[in-house]
Chains A and B, each alone.
Chain A
Amino acid sequence: SQKIEQNSEALNIQEGKTATLTCNYTNYSPAYLQWYRQDPGRGPVFLLLIRENEKEKRKERLKVTFDTTLKQSLFHITASQPADSATYLCALDNQGGKLIFGQGTELSVKP
Chain B
Amino acid sequence: EAQVTQNPRYLITVTGKKLTVTCSQNMNHEYMSWYRQDPGLGLRQIYYSMNVEVTDKGDVPEGYKVSRKEKRNFPLILESPSPNQTSLYFCASSPRASGGAVADTQYFGPGTRLTVL
Q: Which of B42, B45, B106, B110 has a CB less than 8 Å from the CB of A98?
A: B45
- Min CB gap B46→A, angstroms: 11
- Min CB gap A92→B, angstroms: 11
The CA of A101 and the CA of B60, in the complex, are separated in Å by 13
Residue of B4, B49, B109, B111 ringed by the most chain A CB atoms within 10 A: B111
Q: Which of A42, A49, A89 has a CB less than 8 Å from the CB of B42?
A: A89
Q: For this complex, into which size category does the number of interface residues on chain B fall?
A: 20 to 34
Cβ contacts under 8 Å, B90 to chain A: 43-44
- Min CB gap A98→B, angstroms: 6
Question: What residues make up the interface of B, taking CB atoms closer than 8 Å to A?
Answer: 4, 31, 33, 35, 40-45, 48-50, 56, 58-59, 90, 92, 96, 100, 102-111
Q: Which 6 pairs show the lowest CB-CB distances between chains A and B?
A: A43-B108, A103-B42, A101-B43, A95-B100, A46-B105, A97-B48
16 extra interface residue pairs, beta carbon distance < 8 Å, beyond A97-B49, A99-B48:
A31-B100, A42-B110, A42-B111, A43-B90, A43-B108, A46-B108, A49-B103, A49-B105, A89-B43, A97-B33, A97-B50, A99-B33, A99-B45, A100-B45, A101-B35, A104-B43
